[in-house]
């Protein structure tokens, strides 16, 4: 099989026919509202009418359900997070280090494994509007993750007798 042709999988039920990729619209309940989710993937067997969903399709379908929830809650979708992160010139690891949320946070947001918090969503949007804040975050955190790694931004207090520094 060469790179230009993709072989269609064979039906796991009848093992006779090549499966045909299809899409459908599903519905989910979210916060007492019904949400329509378009573009959900599955295969259809022209021989036995089996309709399997393969693991890669299930992952993409899960991301679509998560994105429908995000849109309903007014949050950025996984694709919007990818677009913003890439526009800022950050890898997933760099974004996680700067914004927080854990070592694999942006990978999980972008795959749809985890929905970002409202606070994280607002931070991503703020940095999208003010890309210069990336450098501010780098200066504050020096690439470390965790509040205990934040450089002190509190002013030093001086008296005539002692130099005091708040910690």
Query: What digits encode the pLDDT tens for the residues 73-120?
Result: 999 999 999 999 999 999 999 999 999 988 899 999 999 999 999 999
User: What span, in angstroms and rounded, lies between the C-alpha atoms of 113 and 107?
Assistant: 8
39 CB-near residues (< 8 Å, 6+ apart): 23, 25, 64
- Whether residues 58 and 25 share a domain: the answer is yes
Please check whether residue 50 lies inside any domain of the structure.
yes
For range 11-27, the mean pLDDT:
96
Please check whether residue 57 lies inside any domain of the structure.
yes
- Whether residues 127 and 93 share a domain: the answer is yes
Residue whose pair of structure tokens reads 């501010």 in the numeric block: 136
Q: Residue 101 sits in a domain of what CATH number?
A: 1.10.260.40
User: What span, in angstroms and rounded, lies between the C-alpha atoms of 21 and 25?
Assistant: 14
Please check whether residue 11 lies inside any domain of the structure.
no
- Whether residues 64 and 87 share a domain: the answer is no
Range of the domain at 126: 75-146
- Whether residues 25 and 67 share a domain: the answer is yes
Please check whether residue 157 lies inside any domain of the structure.
no
What is the model's pLDDT at position 7? Answer: 84
- Counting the structural domains of the chain, the total is 2
Q: Which SS3 state, helix, strand or coil, does residue 108 take?
A: helix
- Whether residues 34 and 50 share a domain: the answer is yes
- Whether residues 83 and 68 share a domain: the answer is no
Q: Residue 47 sits in a domain of what CATH number?
A: 3.10.20
- Whether residues 95 and 33 share a domain: the answer is no
Read off the pTM.
Answer: 0.76
> Token pair for residue 100?
């927080």
Specify whether the CB–CB gap between 30 and 69 falls below 8 A: yes
The model's confidence at residue 139, banded by pLDDT at 50, 70 and 90, is confident
What is the model's pLDDT at position 5? Answer: 55
Residue where one domain finishes, among candidates 73, 96, 116: 73
- Whether residues 118 and 142 share a domain: the answer is yes
Half-sphere CA count of 146, side-chain side, radius 13 A: 4
- Whether residues 54 and 99 share a domain: the answer is no
The model's confidence at residue 157, banded by pLDDT at 50, 70 and 90, is very low
């Amino acid at each position: 099989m060469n790179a230009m042709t993709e072989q269609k999988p064979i039906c796991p039920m009848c093992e006779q026919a090549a499966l045909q990729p299809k899409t459908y619209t599903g519905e989910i309940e979210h916060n007492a509202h019904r949400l329509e989710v378009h573009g959900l993937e599955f295969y259809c067997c022209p021989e036995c009418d089996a309709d399997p969903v393969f693991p890669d399709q299930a992952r993409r379908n899960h991301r679509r359900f998560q994105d429908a929830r995000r849109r309903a809650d007014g949050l950025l979708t996984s694709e919007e997070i990818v677009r913003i992160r890439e526009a800022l010139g950050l890898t997933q690891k760099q974004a996680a280090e700067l914004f927080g949320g854990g070592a694999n946070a942006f990978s999980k947001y972008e795959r749809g494994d985890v929905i970002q918090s409202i606070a994280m969503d607002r931070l991503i949007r703020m940095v999208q509007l003010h890309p210069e804040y990336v450098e501010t975050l780098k200066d504050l955190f020096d690439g470390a993750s965790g509040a205990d790694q934040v450089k002190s931004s509190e002013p030093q207090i001086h008296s005539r007798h002692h130099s005091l520094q708040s910690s």
